[in-house]
Structure 1
Amino acid sequence: MRRAGVWDDDGVDGRIDLLKVSVPPLLCGLFLAVVWFLLPSEQWLLLVGMMVAYIVPPLGRETIIPVCILLGIPWWLVASALAFLDFAGGLFMAWNFPLVLRIPYAGPWIRRFMVAGRTFLDRRPWLERLYFVGLILFVSLPFDGSGSIVGSVIGRMLGMTKTEVVACITIGGIIGSFAIALGIDWVTNLIPAGAGPWVSLAVFILIGIALLVMYRSRSLMRETNV
């Protein structure tokens, strides 16, 4: 385990740095302003809604990306949007961790997660052995609870610097989002052009069922190994 406590703002006196709080949301607003010129207004609103849904559990990129692609949003744009959200979320967490701990519901949940973090890391020893690569893999793969928020907490518990955590979350977000988007795009290209929307919907439902079965199988295996 690496040295803990390198996030030296944990002991601040409660003051809020407005610049650090406002920059990540402003970056997201700038991103959406650029996307406005790339999509029709209906698809732009859909993408905004999907980005908000990505922030709120339990929906993850393995759900958001297929839905967006099915509804006509380019795969590369969906992947870029979610990867950018991971970057912005990691940046916000790194800059404002003490503030996040004071947010109702989110703060107590993170505190409970940190208390149980030792058990969490004991079940995933590769995160400690390969702390940098391990955190990238954790963020990129559809693990239960993976994402910028949990990834930031784990990075902090591993004693990583803020720059390392943001870098891992950004790289992992790019890998995970683009891998899923490319896979879904490849599957959609296998569907005949005149098949109609119901065939596409059926294919995506089957993909969703397969992902659900894989997730449940992995969860049962983890529970039986406890």
Structure 2
Amino acid sequence: MSGLIIAYFIPPAGHETIIPLAILAGYSWWLITAVISLLDVAVSLFVVWNFDLALKVPLVGRLLESRMTIARDYIESQAWLRRFSTVGLTLLVFVPLQGTGAMSGSVLGRLLGLAEFRVFCCVCIGSLASCLVFALGADVLLNIYRDDPMLGTGILAAIVVVVLAAVAGWWVHGRRLRERRLS
């Protein structure tokens, strides 16, 4: 388990890789969910509680302060954005993309000027939901594979195709938006 915990902190590993690997290694879904969620809770608490100390570091502090000012001004100018900040931060932590997770969610929440407790709750909810989805999904898929290897392989292949199609669609959509802005 300690090897998986260390690997969890080394990019690009995250919920989407460590949890299925742990389940394949024989750990129960509830144990790995609890371990990874508690790691995220500890990371979030550390970042949220120590963010004010980072603001006092000479060069880093000024950079963070300027980014916080920009983010707060933008959110105040867009009133609708303030209402969705909690849901958005929770989804940021939930979605398994590189650069999302407990650390970046906590930093972003504090940069946006959200209260410490609010940031902490968003990170905890997003992390627990993500861990549960991956743990239960991997456990069910492994059980299906053990009962019928062909069906399990087919379901896994279908999941991979859907994820790749979604990523490709997201990439094409983003590219079109950038092209529209440039023209």
When the two structures are superposed, what TM-score results if normalisation uses the length of structure 1? Answer: 0.59
Contact 1:114-1:153 at 8 Å conserved across structures = no
Identity %: 35
2:175 is matched with: 223
Question: Which residue in the other structure is 1:9 paired with?
Answer: none
RMSD of Structure 2 on Structure 1 (CA):
3.7
Is the CA contact (8 Å cut-off) linking 1:126 and 1:134 kept in structure 2?
no
Aligned pairs for 1:51-200 within 5 A: 51-99=5-53, 128-193=82-147
Q: Distance in 2 between matches of 1:57 and 1:127?
A: 30
- Residues 79 and 177 in structure 1, CA contact (< 8 A), matched pair in contact too: yes
Structure number with higher helix proportion: 2
Q: 1:170 to 1:159 in 2, by over 3 A?
A: same
Q: Which amino acid letter does the alignment assign opposite residue 93 of structure 1?
A: V
Contact 1:139 1:151 in 2 (8 A): yes
What amino acid does structure 2 have at the position aligned with 1:221?
Answer: H
CA contact (8 A) 1:90 1:166 kept: yes
TM-score by length of 2: 0.71
Distance 1:72 1:187, change over 3 A: same
CA shift, 1:70, in A, is: 1.2
The gaps in structure 2 that reach 5 residues or longer are 179-183
Per the TM alignment, residue 93 of structure 1 is displaced from its structure 2 partner at its CA by 0.1
Please state how far the C-alpha of 1:65 moved relative to its aligned partner: 1.1
* Residue identity in the other structure for 2:87: V
SS in 2 for 1:132: helix
- 1:79/1:201 Cα in 2 relative to 1: closer, same or farther (>3 Å)? farther
Structure 1 residue 141, shift from structure 2 partner: 1.9
Which runs of 5 or more structure 1 residues have no equivalent in the other structure? 1-46
For 1:70, the aligned partner's letter is: L
Q: Check conservation: 1:155, 1:165, Cα contact below 8 A.
A: yes
Secondary structure of the 2:146 match is coil
Q: In the superposition, relative to structure 1, how do residues 202 and 84 fare at CA in structure 2: closer, same or farther (>3 Å)? A: farther
